[in-house]
Amino acid sequence: MASTRHDPPGRQPSRPAPSRRPSKAVYRRRRLVALLILLAVLALLVWGVSAVVGMVTDRGPGDAVAAESTQATDPGTADAPQPDGGAAASAAPADETGEREAETCAPDAVDTEVDSPAGVGPGEPVLFRLTLTNTGEEPCLLDTGDASLAVTAHLGEERVWSSADCAAGRAGREVLLEAGSSTTARVPWDKSRSASGCPAGQERAPAGTYQVMTSHDGAGIGAEGTLVLE
């Protein structure tokens, strides 16, 4: 016959022993591992940023400057005189010493034509168009800047206006003319009088028929035309 075990009176039933909490040393090791992992992640982030910056800066500023320089347009070319038919006018070449090979055009080697509007009403602008042709047998340099190439308007015996009066200090604009080639220059006039030294406050030019003459460096170059101001 099986026997049944009974606990003695007053004795409590046995309970499982409570689990032990990790010691402080274990906590410190866990914190140290977590800190090392965090430092490793930060190091990877810093390395990645440095690599990206390095790839960008490796190109250097010279690449951007070179790209811009190949696309940039010389600001002076838009206003420079353009060749008119025949052989093209171009910038003067230079030899190994940096000096220009061509000589300055002689006055008698340049043929000049002036095209002026037949009649100009009140409020309308005046624009003279000059065509200059190298009639010599060799290329030569011609300065078509405002300080060298001038247009003068006379009303009878009176000199009313000249583009040279207010051209002092302006930059020159040299053009290499091949033999037989031409270039053009445009000279505007606001229809005000002018005088040597460019004094301000000049009156408007009176109506009438004007004789138009051209000159280069103060010497007449033969081109004449007629302009009627209404």
- pLDDT tens digits for 11-37? 555 555 555 666 777 777 888 888 889
What mean pLDDT do residues 82-107 have? 57
Sign of CA dihedral 82, 88, 92, 93: positive
185-189, 196-200, 217-221 — which is least confidently predicted? 217-221
Q: Are strands 149-155 and 158-162 parallel, antiparallel or unpaired?
A: antiparallel
78 phi, psi to nearest 5 deg? -65, -35
The residues spanned by each domain of the chain are 25-56, 103-229
pLDDT category, 211, cuts 50, 70, 90?
very high
In the chain, the amino acid numbered 75 is P
Question: Are the beta carbons of 196 and 218 closer than 8 angstroms?
Answer: no
Q: Edge-to-edge strands of the sheet including 110-115?
A: 110-115, 126-134, 182-189
pLDDT beyond 70 at 185: yes
- pLDDT tens digits for 97-149? 455 568 888 888 888 888 888 788 888 889 999 999 999 999 999 988 888 88
What mean pLDDT do residues 169-182 have? 88
What value does the mean pLDDT of the chain take? 75
pLDDT in the model for residue 49: 81
Report the CATH superfamily, name and number, of domain 103-229. Immunoglobulins (2.60.40.10)
Question: Are the beta carbons of 121 and 173 closer than 8 angstroms?
Answer: no
